[in-house]
Structure 1
């Protein structure tokens, strides 16, 4: 009964000072609701300690004694331990939350890119397949029987078949890159040999389109890489440049080195790309408005594959507007012993 009477006597003093501190803490939490999680957790730790200390002060009548001293020491010790923990915990949770949001954003972007790729590939596959089917039916039904027309149809069927084959090859190469199944056997590769092979392969198409294909380099560097994959990079860059360069325009390759890196540049005459879209040209299935009207358009994978292969070589690839068109620059590590 005496204990109950004593509690009834001291409770108003404890509540009278603890409650305002708790309300102030609630107000601080509201004001700091848009601040960092570490700040919020710190307030949540400090407010109960301050409310406890205020309640004890109310009970003791602000008279220092054993009880007040003990409570102050305990609250101080608890605060010294819990406040840093709250700060560290808040920052850790905040970083994890940011990482999770970024991961979800990347997943959504990747899923959207995959859906877009499937839609575009489906569209691009239907077009040549419909042409092949129509021409095959015309040949089978005898609608076309003159030798010249038959040869023409056969050539067109072969051309569409090669186009489909290139699209399948691109999809396979991209799947290797994105799945992390691409394993390179690196060696010393003379960049001149790779460029010469790519130019020889792409020059006939450039001539058909009336595009001049030229190289402007005297001393070609030797890089650390894989022949086949580097040739694929150069051919993809040349194919893209030729596709977007108008007749009588030029596509120029140049190379050199600075420091421990070699560089290869492909300059075209496409008329330039909006600054906001320059980095998007390397996205999977991205094609600008110009490409949509091009009869030779591909699946929009060439530059994405080039970037993946360059990165697999521990290199970099960038695009920027330059002169009458765009410049695609590849940077690769030099072969050991080359400087």
Structure 2
């Protein structure tokens, strides 16, 4: 029983001494919280040894140990402290080297945007940080590349649009001056041409506005279930006069009775742009074929034309803003602003669908997948 009491007494004294020294050590570490990690590790090892020594000193004064035993313990603490400090220095040096290597790699990322992970990270925590920095660097590199591509596309689009705006504006100015000077003999014809160019400018500005909304992800959709054949019929009816004037036939190629969940106004815009593009590029006497079917849980809309095909190297550029398939980019009443297909892709992708184009015999085929109702 007495032995148990002695052990309990020793435990309580050890606990009190450890808490007292631990509180003081915590205060020292708190004051050094912005200092070197290596120094803090050394302080922690010294605090641990002091706790042991203080406990034995307290027990010696309380008569639990003889003076000779207490001195022996204190002497044993000296090499223990030295070994602990040496181990802390070795471990700290390893962590410090890893930290410095990581800092150098991070500075390199700030200079050229690329992160070269150091060969030795120093610790598991630094290794995790290295992986996160590498992932962040890869994401930033991809973002910069995307931004570079978008900036190049934006500059090219501005150049093209400036050209498209300048041509009708020059015509409007010339016709207006002719009317003002009394040089126009057929005033009704001039007024009709002015109205035509004004409508073209209005359409171009509207396309630019819609494209900017699409690219900024601010396009608002009002999704409702609707029969896809009804949308196709309406679009075909609207484009029929233009097709008749150009000598182009509109041919149904198999339209299944399927329902889609879409924004009716926006998908009507998609159909109008695709059909208008097909009619505009189909040679007189050719045909534009429209078909629709369900596949893989989506509705697939296909519009085929007789344009003669698109060069293979240009197939990936078809849906880019400003692309019109010819480097000369002639302006005229039948040539669009090169934004229609970009708007088509933006609207379809906003519906979580996809667009594609491929060459077929005598022309090309545009396809758009839309969600079923």
TM-score by length of 2: 0.66
Instruction: Select which of 142, 156, 168 maps to 1:102.
Output: 142
Residue 324, structure 1, aligned to residue 362, structure 2: yes
- Alignment partners' CA distance in 2, 1:270 and 1:290: 17
| 2:239–2:272 CA contact under 8 A, matched in 1 | yes
Q: Which runs of 4+ in 1 moved over 6 A?
A: none
Question: Residues 164 and 331 of structure 2 are in contact (CA less than 8 Å); yes or no, is this contact kept in structure 1?
Answer: no
Shift of 1:319: 1.0
Please give the root-mean-square deviation of Cα atoms over the aligned residues, in Å.
Answer: 2.6
Measured against aligned partners, the alpha-carbon deviations of 1:151-173 in whole angstroms (never above 9, x if no partner) come to: 22222112111111110110111
What SS does structure 2 have at the residue aligned with 1:272?
coil
Structure 1 residue 115, shift from structure 2 partner: 1.2
Aligned ranges 1:15-30 → 2 under 5 Å: none
Computing the radius of gyration over CA atoms, which structure comes out larger, 1 or 2?
A: 2
Q: What is the CA–CA distance in structure 2 between the aligned matches of 1:186 and 1:108, rounded to whole Å? A: 34
Cα displacement (A) at 1:287: 2.3
Any gaps of 5 or more consecutive residues in structure 1?
1-35, 46-81
Tell which has more relative contact order, 1 or 2 (C-alpha 8 A, sep 6+). 1
User: Structure 2 unaligned runs (5+)?
Assistant: 1-114
Out of 155, 159, 172, the position equivalent to 2:196 is 159
TM-score by length of 1: 0.72
In the alignment, structure 1 residue 142 sits paired with structure 2 residue 182:
yes
The reply to whether residue 312 of structure 1 matches residue 350 of structure 2 is yes
Matches within 5 A, 1:70-85: 82=123, 84-85=124-125
Superposition deviation, residue 222 in structure 1: 1.0
Matched, 1:180 2:217: yes
Task: Give how far 1:208 is off.
Answer: 2.1
Q: What is the Cα deviation at residue 281 of structure 1?
A: 0.9
In the alignment, what sits opposite 2:338? 300
Q: Work out whether 1:225 is the aligned partner of 2:262.
A: yes
Q: Deviations over 1:9-36 (max 9, x none)?
A: xxxxxxxxxxxxxxxxxxxxxxxxxxx9
Going from structure 1 to structure 2, the CA distance change for 1:291 and 1:192 (only over 3 Å counts) comes to farther
Q: 1:41-99 deviations in whole A, cap 9, x for unaligned?
A: 32x64xxxxxxxxxxxxxxxxxxxxxxxxxxxxxxxxxxxx1x4454333322222121
Structure 1 residues 120 and 218, CA gap change in structure 2 (3 angstroms): closer
Cα distance change of structure 1 residues 161 and 294 upon mapping to structure 2, 3 Å threshold: closer
Count of aligned positions:
264
2:119 aligns with: 41
2:119 partner SS: helix
Q: Partners in 1 of 2:177 and 2:116 — Cα distance?
A: 68
The Cα shift of 1:275 comes to 2.6
SS at 1:270 equivalent? coil
